[in-house]
Amino acid sequence: MRDRLIQSGAVLALAGSFVAAGFLQPKLVEIADRDELRYTDISIDGAPPIVAIGTAIGALRGLIVDYLWIKVTIQKEKGLFYEVMADAGLITKLQPRFPDVWAFHGHNMAYNISVMTNTQEERWAWVNAGINLVRNEGIRYNPNDLILGKELSFWFSHKLDGVADDAHLFYKRKFAEEWTYMLGVPPYDLEQRTAWIKAIADAPDTMPELEAKVPGMKEFVADLTERLKPLGTRYEFGTGERFLKLYGQWLAQQVSPYAKALRIRASTDGAAALIGVFDATFGDEKNREIGDKLIAFIRKRTLIDHYNMDPQLMYEFTRDTGPLDWRHPAAHALYWARRGTQFGEDRLLRDQLEAFKVINNDRQEIQAMQTLARSGLVSYDPFSGDNVTRLNDPRWILVLDRYFEKLYDKHYETRGAGADTFTNLHENFMRQAVRELYRLGDTESAQRILDKLDRLYGSGSFNPNGYYQKPLEDFVREQLYGEFEMQPEVVRSDVYAALERGFREGLLLDNQKLLEDSLEYARDLTIFFRESSTNDFVTKFGEGRMKDLLGSLEDSIPAVFTRILLDNSQPMLDRLVIYRKAPDDLKLVVYDRVRANLEREYASSRLQQTGMSFAQAFPEPPGLAEYRAQQAEAAKAREAEKVKDNTSEAERK
């Protein structure tokens, strides 16, 4: 009897506790909202069902989640990544407002599971799944969390834009293809690019608003819908990612050299009919304005609904930073880092112990700018099967310089290294920028940066020095050569890098001055290094221990040109253009070196499908027979000289 009374009392106490918790829950939620104790501004109202379910479970949720976290940790240590997926997914449902579980789950997909797959396609699917999970779900449920934005930014920078993953070139191709179809090719000019993305941001939010705002839109959409009906549901009109991809493929095909050369039209009757519909609607000049506004609206809805990206922020970030190209992963790295700053850093800056998280996120953003300066000019033909062309974009140099000032002021009083966290990156990058701008002929900007370096790190620094007070030309020369005297082993790579950029960008972009400057720089550096008194030590074997690290310029130029022509990370069409534009005397030197490998690669290239033979694509340079004969005679002369030297040596002994 006594036991029954105790049990009944316990049950009543438990029931009373649940009732009391129910009464207290609204007050606790109100306090959490008022004091910003959550990772979102509104905790329950308007939240997705997943949040309401997790909240309704109450205190029991904590016990379940604790058990699942222990289980997941054990499974991860055993390498049971697929098993981790199921339990981590349950944790996200129970704790959707807990950002760490989204980051854990996404990282598991993008890194741990992806590398266990057997094909590039499978690996890309898992990387994309990890990104989508955090971007499309985690950040929707935790819109004010900086750390999720920082993690996402890092994945774009490291996994997609980096080179650590064996499939990184495949990732870059798939990413550029996806965003070519979603947004098209942006204008080069910054002002035009800003207006281009603003047109998307300013598009109406709903179809009724669009039809009411644009005369003739309702009729155009009705006509388009009617034309597409016979093609089936696969090609029906819609305002989301599926239809936009169809349009993007059609648009890319209009300007693709490969599509024109290969006469690519469609692989099925339905696809052919779709192209005919698009040609008759979007391709009709009289519909150009209406069609552009419809696509701007669909792009806006796709960015918001499918990618959880705000077109207004994309416009503002382009306007306030620089020429963002959304086909480049670094543009997305910048977006998510900056978005995290805008919506989440205030919560962390209130606590000095959390300030390092803000600094790390800011570092992600400025490193994305650095990447865009080095490879932000993107060119990609999704019909080629080639890799993405990525060239230097010096427009980002001054952007990074301005942003450094902002970060320095922002973190001047931050605990620890604070603002000094960014000074080494800034000084080293801007030194390189002086050299780059000087070689590009923009001496005014180069001098302006040099003067600023002097104010910050030279005569105006806490430890005044005259390092940056030299004339511009002397600074460029002395800095380069001073560094090479300290690290002579990097001279060859620097000469090769200068020549490579000259050939890639100078020939590909018809920038004759860049090509000439690169050749002059390589020539001057070669002469300096080989003739420097500090490098004249000869070993007992008769070799120049230091100066022979770098061959003559006559050796360096064809070596670099050969490397470019055989670099299959460079699109075949780009290499064809570079070869065609190169001087004949250079082609003579490298032709026999590259022909066999290049011909094998060309045989599997889509260019070969145009009917153009290898001999037509990469014709023999004039005078090749005579050059071969000269080389044969020179080889005989060297061999004869060698025999003569060996005979003399034997006689002396």
**Residues β-bridged to residue 378:** 390
Confidence band for 650, pLDDT divided at 50, 70 and 90 = low
Give pLDDT, residue 43. 46
12 burial level (CB within 10 Å; 0-12, 13-18, 19+):
exposed
The structure tokens 């900086």 sit at: 146
CB atoms within 10 A of CB 403: 21
The model carries a pTM of: 0.77
Give pLDDT, residue 44. 42
Residue by residue, what is the 3-state secondary structure of 421-445? HHHHHHHHHHHHHHHHHHHCCCHHH
Beta strands 377-379; 389-391: pairing state: antiparallel
Task: Report whether 173 contacts 384 (CB < 8 A).
Answer: no
Read off the pLDDT of each residue in 37-44 and give the average, rounded to a whole number. Answer: 46
From 356, 317, 66, select the one nearest 190 (Cα to Cα): 317
Read off the pLDDT of each residue in 209-217 and give the average, rounded to a whole number. Answer: 96
Give pLDDT, residue 50. 46
- CA dist., res. 19 & res. 74, Å (int): 36
Model confidence at 290: pLDDT above 70? yes
Confidence band for 79, pLDDT divided at 50, 70 and 90 = confident
Task: Report whether 366 contacts 372 (CB < 8 A).
Answer: no
Minimum mean pLDDT among 410-424, 457-471, 551-565: which range? 551-565
Minimum mean pLDDT among 43-52, 286-295, 410-419: which range? 43-52
Determine which helix (DSSP H) or strand (DSSP E) holds 620, and give its type and residue range.
none
Q: pLDDT digits over 568-616, tens only?
A: 878 888 888 889 998 888 898 889 888 888 888 888 888 887 778 899 9
Residue 590 identity: V
Model confidence at 142: pLDDT above 80? yes
- CA dist., res. 203 & res. 200, Å (int): 5
Model confidence at 461: pLDDT above 60? yes
- CA dist., res. 225 & res. 234, Å (int): 13
**Helices marked H in 108-216:** 120-132, 139-141, 146-155, 168-183, 190-201, 207-213
Give pLDDT, residue 530. 60
Q: Is 286 helix (H, G, I), strand (E, B) or coil?
A: helix
Task: Report whether 220 contacts 228 (CB < 8 A).
Answer: no
Give pLDDT, residue 542. 38
Higher pLDDT, 186 or 5: 186
- DSSP code per residue over 187-236: PSSHHHHHHHHHHHHTS-SSHHHHHHHSTTHHHHHHHHHHHHGGG-GGG-
- CA dist., res. 172 & res. 275, Å (int): 27
Q: pLDDT digits over 392-441, tens only?
A: 888 999 999 999 988 888 887 776 666 777 888 899 889 888 887 887 67
- CA dist., res. 103 & res. 574, Å (int): 39
From 365, 15, 362, select the one nearest 156 (Cα to Cα): 365
Give pLDDT, residue 9. 65
- CA dist., res. 175 & res. 313, Å (int): 21
Determine which helix (DSSP H) or strand (DSSP E) holds 389, and give its type and residue range.
strand 389-391
Residue by residue, what is the 3-state secondary structure of 287-355? HHHHHHHHHHHHHHHHHHHCCCCCHHHHHHHHHHCCCCCCCCHHHHHHHHHHHHHHHHHHHHHCCHHHH
564 burial level (CB within 10 Å; 0-12, 13-18, 19+):
buried
Task: Report whether 277 contacts 216 (CB < 8 A).
Answer: no
Determine which helix (DSSP H) or strand (DSSP E) holds 541, and give its type and residue range.
none
Determine which helix (DSSP H) or strand (DSSP E) holds 6, and give its type and residue range.
helix 2-34
Residue 130 identity: G
Q: What is the largest CA-CA distance in the chain?
A: 121
377 DSSP 8-state letter = E
Model confidence at 47: pLDDT above 50? no
Residue 140 identity: R
Report the interhelical angle of 395-410 vs 443-457 (nearest 10°). 20
231 burial level (CB within 10 Å; 0-12, 13-18, 19+):
middle
Percentage of the chain modeled with pLDDT above 90: 36
Q: Is 45 helix (H, G, I), strand (E, B) or coil?
A: coil
From 467, 461, 526, select the one nearest 494 (Cα to Cα): 526
Give pLDDT, residue 27. 54
- CA dist., res. 352 & res. 414, Å (int): 7
Read off the pLDDT of each residue in 80-96 and give the average, rounded to a whole number. Answer: 75
Confidence band for 534, pLDDT divided at 50, 70 and 90 = very low
